[in-house]
């Protein structure tokens, strides 16, 4: 057996995005020895790419905002499929998490009174997104990174060793969660730089490994988004919930081809950008769905007035939830009214002055200038849907982040599911990371303390198994190139499990996905194990395939259209289907999906909504629990 580096920690956090770092801070604050593991360099996690902002009902710009309104918006955005408890905790705790960032040195844009400024975003009733220009994710990750550094500085003073209680293992990839009986016992992986194998023994493991976008061809996600966290949990006996719900962001770049999918932040629309088709029509007015009719402007004039006077006008339909806008763009392009490169036009230049655009959307200006040779202060952008976010994820306990089915395993951030229901609102992810990152960290601490020494052990047999598995692609001569397999896999998901789905295509996708298993088993990566990108991809591919399998399975079963899941053959939302989540398992090498009853909202939360609104989503029996429903 190859030499294996061994470490032992109290808590291991897989992932150095917003969720992972917040969890690590919490564990370290409780005095536990904590490891942070990430595939990239420290500070490069996907969170860094978030642009628009972080949603928190602080009420700084519109004092009518509060957690109840935020809760309502979140549930509405998710089409009431959200885990209500998560949505509730999220809405209540998000402001504290944002304020806490300020005490660690974050510098958000300010209001005139010197408070944190907040901006409008799709689906949020009031201006709610704390932001820094359009680089909010960078601010969040850097602030968290610096918070970790400040803890290390304290440890350096106290213990003479900065890494005494919190250590970052950058460019290290976890390939397997190792268990002792049914409990988590450790995490196994490799160091990218050397190719050496590494084992972390730890009773409490937090998975915060981000999203799955790389399973799709057109995506806003980086190479990291290969669904590792999802797959690690699944293989360890955890469950994934809501995997059929994948968010296609309506506005990704479409040209040039090499940048296809790169995100165009929603703030472009929040700050006044309008969508037009090739005929120059603001087509979004034609796509306002029945459930949102009263909340959105019915004429361009009203929509335009809203930017200056939001109290007396309704917002323009460009700010509908993402799934609606993405589908609308998709339909326009299909109807032949698209832009030259297969998107639609998004224009801020007509409403904002050039210097305002550069100030409010600096990185968008930069991005289009440098990557597409388009000056957004005078020209329209071409945009189209791009795979952006997965609502589905590891099934967890809302309060503690404990993964269902595996004691010792916790999850937070995009890797965890439930919070966003069938569709996530913009800005609700960054706040989700902090709220549930902190809770998962605290959950891990409580679990660790409850063990009082009765720690699980990692067996030699399991190490051998994990290392053989990891090294297989390097040892197998004469097989297939991982890059080809990746491209083929992305094509399948894109064509058959994409934004609009049908039964026949989903069935086809499942059989095609099966075919990839054999190909994966016969992968070859020439070269040594030191920083071998091909080998890294080969191991990631397994996760991408597993996740795609879950998505396709769940998508086939859910026979309705809701949020990030659109079935051409079942175009309506069904109140019956709202009562269930779909949960994926992995047993005996096969993905299986089953129905799980959705937890029922507590009465006082139910009563935050008008019964008329609930009527659009819920069955008549469910409505009887509403305070106005008893005699209805």
Residues that bind ligand FAD (CB under 6 A): 14-20, 37-40, 45-47, 49-54, 136-137, 173-174, 189, 208-211, 220-221, 224, 228-229, 263, 388-389, 413-415, 426-430, 433
Phi, psi of 46 (to 5 degrees): -50, -35
Q: CA-CA distance, 141 to 16, in Å (whole number)?
A: 9
Q: CA-CA distance, 256 to 160, in Å (whole number)?
A: 52
Q: CA-CA distance, 585 to 592, in Å (whole number)?
A: 5
Binding mask 361-400 for other proteins (x = CB under 8 A): --x--xx--xxx----------------------------
Active site residue 269: yes
Binding mask 158-187 for other proteins (x = CB under 8 A): ----x-------------------------
Out of ligand FAD, other proteins, none, which partner does residue 42 contact, by CB within 5 to 8 A per kind? other proteins
Residue closer to other proteins by CB (options 319, 434) is: 434
Residue 599 touching other proteins (CB under 8 A): no
Contacts of 421 (CB under 8 A, 6+ apart): 74, 75, 77, 78, 79, 80, 81, 82, 83, 87, 242, 245, 391, 563
Q: Which residue in the set 4, 30, 149, 605 belongs to the binding site for other proteins (CB under 8 A)?
A: 149
Phi, psi of 242 (to 5 degrees): 60, 30
Name the E strands within 523-628: 580-587, 590-597
CA torsion through residues 224, 182, 401, 416, sign: positive
Residue 535 touching other proteins (CB under 8 A): yes
Kindly report the length of the chain.
632
Residue closer to other proteins by CB (options 370, 399) is: 370
The region of 114-122, 178-186, 285-293, 464-472 touching other proteins under the rule CB under 8 A is 114-122
Out of other proteins, ligand FAD, none, which partner does residue 86 contact, by CB within 5 to 8 A per kind? none
Q: CA-CA distance, 180 to 236, in Å (whole number)?
A: 11
Residue 258 touching other proteins (CB under 8 A): yes
Name the E strands within 426-549: none
Q: Are 185 and 203 in contact (CB under 8 A)?
A: yes
The region of 129-137, 455-463, 511-519, 561-569 touching other proteins under the rule CB under 8 A is 129-137
Q: Which residue in the set 31, 528, 571, 620 belongs to the binding site for other proteins (CB under 8 A)?
A: 528
The vertex-200 CA angle with 155 and 49, nearest 5°, equals 70
The region of 122-130, 431-439, 526-534, 616-624 touching other proteins under the rule CB under 8 A is 526-534
Residue 531 touching other proteins (CB under 8 A): yes
The vertex-141 CA angle with 138 and 146, nearest 5°, equals 120
Q: CA-CA distance, 403 to 617, in Å (whole number)?
A: 28
Cα maximum dimension of the chain: 73
Structure tokens at 237: 């006996």
Across the strands, what pairs with 402?
A: 410
Out of other proteins, ligand FAD, none, which partner does residue 605 contact, by CB within 5 to 8 A per kind? none
Q: Which residue in the set 1, 6, 156, 628 belongs to the binding site for other proteins (CB under 8 A)?
A: 156
DSSP state of 601: P
Residue 222 touching other proteins (CB under 8 A): yes
B/e letters for 249-281, b = 16+ CB within 10 Å, e = fewer, are: bbbbbbbeeeebbbbbbbbbbbbbbbbbbeeee
Other C-beta atoms lying within 10 Å of the C-beta of residue 406: 21
Residue 224 touching other proteins (CB under 8 A): yes
Phi, psi of 594 (to 5 degrees): -135, 165
Q: Which residue in the set 482, 498, 564, 629 belongs to the binding site for other proteins (CB under 8 A)?
A: 482
Structure tokens at 229: 């966290």
DSSP state of 532: -
Active site residue 70: no
Out of ligand FAD, other proteins, none, which partner does residue 139 contact, by CB within 5 to 8 A per kind? other proteins
The region of 130-138, 206-214, 287-295, 597-605 touching other proteins under the rule CB under 8 A is 130-138
Out of other proteins, ligand FAD, none, which partner does residue 113 contact, by CB within 5 to 8 A per kind? other proteins
Among residues 269, 327, 501, 536, the one annotated as catalytic is: 269
Among residues 90, 249, 562, 626, the one annotated as catalytic is: 249
Out of ligand FAD, other proteins, none, which partner does residue 210 contact, by CB within 5 to 8 A per kind? ligand FAD
Out of other proteins, ligand FAD, none, which partner does residue 404 contact, by CB within 5 to 8 A per kind? none
Residue 292 touching other proteins (CB under 8 A): no
Q: Are 122 and 319 in contact (CB under 8 A)?
A: yes
Across the strands, what pairs with 36?
A: 13, 168
Other C-beta atoms lying within 10 Å of the C-beta of residue 528: 11
Active site residues: 249, 269
Note the residues at the interface with other proteins (CB under 8 A). 40-44, 46, 48-49, 58, 95-96, 99-100, 102-105, 107, 109-110, 113-115, 117, 132-133, 135, 138-139, 142, 146-147, 149-150, 152-153, 156, 162, 193, 222-224, 255-259, 262-263, 363, 366-367, 370-372, 481-484, 487, 525-528, 530-535
């Amino acid at each position: 057996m190859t030499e294996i580096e061994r470490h032992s920690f109290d808590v291991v956090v897989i992932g150095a995005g917003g969720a992972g770092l917040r969890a690590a801070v919490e564990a370290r604050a409780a005095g536990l020895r904590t490891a942070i593991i990430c595939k990239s360099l420290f500070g490069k996690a996907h969170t860094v790419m978030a642009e628009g902002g972080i949603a928190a009902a602080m009420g700084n710009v519109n004092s009518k905002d509060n957690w109840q309104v935020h809760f309502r918006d979140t549930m509405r955005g998710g089409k009431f499929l959200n885990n209500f408890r998560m949505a509730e905790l999220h809405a209540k705790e998000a402001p504290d998490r944002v304020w806490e960032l300020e005490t660690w040195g974050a510098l958000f844009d300010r209001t005139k009174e010197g408070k944190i400024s907040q901006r409008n975003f799709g689906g949020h009733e009031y201006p709610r997104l704390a932001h820094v220009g359009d680089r909010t994710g960078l601010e969040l990750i850097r602030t968290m990174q610096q918070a970790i550094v400040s803890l290390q500085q304290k440890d350096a003073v106290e213990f003479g060793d900065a890494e005494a209680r919190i250590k970052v293992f950058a460019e290290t990839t976890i390939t397997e969660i190792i268990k002792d009986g049914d409990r988590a016992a450790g995490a196994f992986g490799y160091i990218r730089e050397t190719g050496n194998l590494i084992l972390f023994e730890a009773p409490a493991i937090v998975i915060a490994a981000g999203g799955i976008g790389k399973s799709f061809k057109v995506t806003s996600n980086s190479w990291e988004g290969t669904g590792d966290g999802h797959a690690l949990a699944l293989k360890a006996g955890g469950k994934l919930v809501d995997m059929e719900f994948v968010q296609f962001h309506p506005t990704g770049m479409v040209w040039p081809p090499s940048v296809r999918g790169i995100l165009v932040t929603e703030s472009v629309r929040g700050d006044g950008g309008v969508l037009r088709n090739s005929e120059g029509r603001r087509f979004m007015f034609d796509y306002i769905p029945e459930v949102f009719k009263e909340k959105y402007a019915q004429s361009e004039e009203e929509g335009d007035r809203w930017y200056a006077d939001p109290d007396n006008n309704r917002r323009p339909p460009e700010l509908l939830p993402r799934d609606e806008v993405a589908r609308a763009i998709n339909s326009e392009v299909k109807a032949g009214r698209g832009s030259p490169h297969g998107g639609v036009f998004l224009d801020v230049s007509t409403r904002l002055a050039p210097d305002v655009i550069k100030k409010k959307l600096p990185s968008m200006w930069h991005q289009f200038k440098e990557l597409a040779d388009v000056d957004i202060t005078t020209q329209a952008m071409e945009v189209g849907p791009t795979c952006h976010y997965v609502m589905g994820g590891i099934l967890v306990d809302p309060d503690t982040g404990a993964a269902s089915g595996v004691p010792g395993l916790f999850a937070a951030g995009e890797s965890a599911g439930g919070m966003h229901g069938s569709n996530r609102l913009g800005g609700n992810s960054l706040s989700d990371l902090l709220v549930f990152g902190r809770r998962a960290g605290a959950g891990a601490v409580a679990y660790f303390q409850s063990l009082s020494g009765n720690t699980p052990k990692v067996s030699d047999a399991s190490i051998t198994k994990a290392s053989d598995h990891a090294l297989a692609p390097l040892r197998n001569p004469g097989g297939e190139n991982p890059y080809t397999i990746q491209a083929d896999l992305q094509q399948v998901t894109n064509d058959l499990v994409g934004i609009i789905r049908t039964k026949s295509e989903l069935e086809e996708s499942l059989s095609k996905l099966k075919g990839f298993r054999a190909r994966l088993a016969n992968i070859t990566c020439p070269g040594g194990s030191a920083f071998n990108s091909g080998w890294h991809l080969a191991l990631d591919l397994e996760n991408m395939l597993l996740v795609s399998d879950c998505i396709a399975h769940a998508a086939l079963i859910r026979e309705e259209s809701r949020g990030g899941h659109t079935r051409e053959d079942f175009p309506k939302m069904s109140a019956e289907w709202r009562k269930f989540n779909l949960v994926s398992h992995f047993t005996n090498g096969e993905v299986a999906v089953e129905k799980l009853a959705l937890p029922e909202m507590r009465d006082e939360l139910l009563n935050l909504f008008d019964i008329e609104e609930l009527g659009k989503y819920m069955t008549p029996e469910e409505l009887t629990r509403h305070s106005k429903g008893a005699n209805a």
